[in-house]
Amino acid sequence: GAGVSQTPSNKVTEKGKYVELRCDPISGHTALYWYRQSLGQGPEFLIYFQGTGAADDSGLPNDRFFAVRPEGSVSTLKIQRTERGDSAVYLCASSADRNTEAFFGQGTRLTVV
């Protein structure tokens, strides 16, 4: 596709469940980022991939959060034992490389009930 695509658009899950959020970056973009946006806040950095490797995961809040990008394209953000505080919009972005403009997807709105 032409832009960054995220699925699902919305996800409602019960507390304690496991969820996976998917990001399809712009074709050919080697850099991929995940951000989390809580209600009334700006996006906050979670993790940065360069190719297949997580070059910086310093923004992941705890070990319940994990992300992969096994083939250097699609990325999956995985959250174990979800908590109500995990409710937020999870944004994915990609860029041609780390020094160029990042383009954001529309986000996945996660609600933990």
Partner 1 sequence: GQQLNQSPQSMFIQEGEDVSMNCTSSSIFNTWLWYKQDPGEGPVLLIALYKAGELTSNGRLTAQFGITRKDSFLNISASIPSDVGIYFCAAQNSGGSNYKLTFGKGTLLTVNP
51-80: contacts with partner 1 (CB under 8 A): 56
User: In the complex with partner 1, which residue's Cβ is closer, 14 or 101?
Assistant: 101
Q: Which of 13, 30, 76, 106 binds partner 1 (CB under 8 A)?
A: 106
Instruction: Count Cβ atoms below 10 Å from residue 101 Cβ, excluding itself.
Output: 7
The nearest distance, CB 81 to partner 1, in angstroms, is 25
Round the CA-based radius of gyration of the chain to a whole number and report it.
Answer: 13
Residue 33 binds partner 1 (CB under 8 A): yes
The one-letter amino acid at 2: A
Q: Considering only the stretches 12-20, 62-70, 72-80, 104-112, report the one whose residues sit in contact with partner 1 under the rule CB under 8 A.
A: 104-112
The nearest distance, CB 48 to partner 1, in angstroms, is 6
Q: Which of 41, 62, 80, 111 binds partner 1 (CB under 8 A)?
A: 41
Instruction: Count Cβ atoms below 10 Å from residue 109 Cβ, excluding itself.
Output: 16
Q: Which of 113, 111, 106, 85 is nearest to 7 (CA)?
A: 106
Do residues 32 and 49 touch, judged by C-beta distance below 8 A?
yes
Instruction: Count Cβ atoms below 10 Å from residue 91 Cβ, excluding itself.
Output: 21
Contacting residues toward partner 1, per CB under 8 A: 4, 9, 31, 33, 35, 40-45, 48, 56, 91, 93, 95, 98-99, 101-107
